[in-house]
């Protein structure tokens, strides 16, 4: 046991729990998911606008969860978690985005259009 923290409950990672933050994160994410579900099921926008709108909902919901729930901020105690997340985001985006881009280009150039087969889109 280290000498500094005789009682683990006094550790800053325990003490940073906040009922108000958890509620805020929950309410923001829930409202955004409700909005996205309503937009899609009501077909409220044209397809491209709808896609942008639900992407926005997902983005803000994730930011709210990461900030209010996971305590990712630039406070002294959490800075290294934040740095690790900042390093992780490009890997996440590149893995998905580059794979998707490569395959979409591949399909475009190689998939024959057989009559009767569903199209590319």
Partner 1 sequence: MHSEETVDPSQVILWSDDYEGHDPISTRTFGFWMYVLSDGMLFATLFAAYGVLSYSHSYYTGPTPAQFVAPWYTFIQTMALFLSVLAYGFAMTALKNGNKAGVINAIIAAMVLGGVFIGLDIHDVLRMIRIGATPETSGGLSAFYALTQVHAAHIFVGLLWMLVMLYQILRQGFSEDVVGRLLSLRMFWQFQAVMWVFIYVFVYLWGYMS
Instruction: By CB under 8 A, name the binding residues for partner 1.
Output: 1-5, 8-9, 11, 13-15, 17-19, 22-23, 26, 29-30, 33-34, 36-37, 40-41, 43, 47, 50-51, 54-55, 57-58, 61-62, 65-66, 69-70, 77, 80-81, 84-85, 88, 91-92, 95-96, 99-100, 103-104, 107, 111, 117-121
Contact 32, 60 (CB under 8 A): yes
Q: What does the chain come to in residues?
A: 121
Residue 66 Cβ vs partner 1, minimum distance, rounded to whole Å? 7
Min dist CB 79 to partner 1, Å, is: 11
CA–CA separation, 8 vs 48, rounded Å? 51
Cβ nearer to partner 1, comparing 26 with 73:
26
Are the C-beta atoms of 62 and 68 separated by less than 8 Å?
Answer: no
Residue 46 main-chain phi, psi, to 5 deg = -65, 155
């Amino acid at each position: 046991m280290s000498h500094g923290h005789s009682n683990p409950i006094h550790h800053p990672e325990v003490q940073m729990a906040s009922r108000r933050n958890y509620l805020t994160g929950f309410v923001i994410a829930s409202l955004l998911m409700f909005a996205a579900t309503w937009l899609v099921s009501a077909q409220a926008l044209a397809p491209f606008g709808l896609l942008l709108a639900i992407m926005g909902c997902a983005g803000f919901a994730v930011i709210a969860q990461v900030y209010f729930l996971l305590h990712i901020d630039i406070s002294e105690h959490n800075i290294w978690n934040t740095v690790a997340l900042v390093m992780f985001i490009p890997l996440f985006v590149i893995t998905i985005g580059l794979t998707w881009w490569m395959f979409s280009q591949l399909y475009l150039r190689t998939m024959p259009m057989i009559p009767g087969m569903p199209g590319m889109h």
